[in-house]
Amino acid sequence: MLLDDQALHVSSVVANNAMNRERQLSGVNSYAKVLGFDPVESLAGTDRSWLDLCCGSGRALIQAAALLDVATLVGVDLVDAFAPGDGPELIAAPVETWTPDRTFDLITCVHGLHYVGDKLGLLVRILKWLKPGGRFVADLDLTSIRMAGGRPAGRRLTTLLRAAGAEYDARRHRISCTGPRELALPYVYLGADDRAGPNYTGQPAVHSYYR
């Protein structure tokens, strides 16, 4: 049986996942390592902004705040388990329904999409939140996006994403985009399966179903 968002949010796979809880800004278990670039370096300049979705404890944002003179840092996570610290605005809310009141220079989602139900719906919304020239980077396992019969959405979805201006690195399981985009996808979300088992990270993940 497929789960709606309300049921998915209390699933042990989603509510209790620890994928991002202790991730640091730099080092071995860090944003810089996963993303392939240093977020702070990418924010060099005046009054830059970073939105981190599924931010876990928010440690990376707190550490970034100590290094940046002027920046707007916002983190959103389903679970209110934020680390103590000053600087960023940390918000406990479902990323599927939360909406910012501004646009951003950098938007990241490190391993968070693995636990989101309507992954494609969230991507459509995220790409509208970028400033001109802004950068979006997230981990995304396209095999977790399934059609009603169970098969992965496959090459058609990859083609549609690239046609809209997004880039997908299949080897790194990474989606990225520069600048705001209007992403129109011909899929209707049906629900999520939290019994999909481990994905490429070795951790249990969620499959998202569409027609």
Q: Write out pLDDT tens, residues 116-160.
A: 999 999 999 999 999 999 999 999 999 999 999 999 999 999 999
Q: Which domains does the chain have, with CATH numbers?
A: 5-210 (3.40.50.150)
Rounded-to-integer distance, Cα 30 and Cα 165, Å: 27
Spell out the alpha helix ranges (H) of 68-187. Answer: 119-126, 155-163
Note the pTM of the prediction, 2 decimals: 0.96
pLDDT along the chain (211 residues), means of 10: 96 76 86 94 89 96 92 95 93 97 97 97 98 97 97 96 96 97 96 96 96 97
Tokens of 183: 């992403």
Residue 117: helix, strand or coil by DSSP?
coil
How many angstroms separate the Cα of 138 from the Cα of each of 7, 15, 87, 107?
Answer: 24, 20, 23, 8
175: Cβ contacts below 8 Å, ≥ 6 apart: 123, 136, 137, 138, 139, 140, 161, 166, 167, 168, 169
**Length in residues, the chain:** 211
The b-or-e profile of 165-200 (16+ CB within 10 A means b, else e) is ebebeeeebbbbbeebbebeeebebbbbbbebeebe
Other beta carbons less than 10 A from residue 106's beta carbon: 23
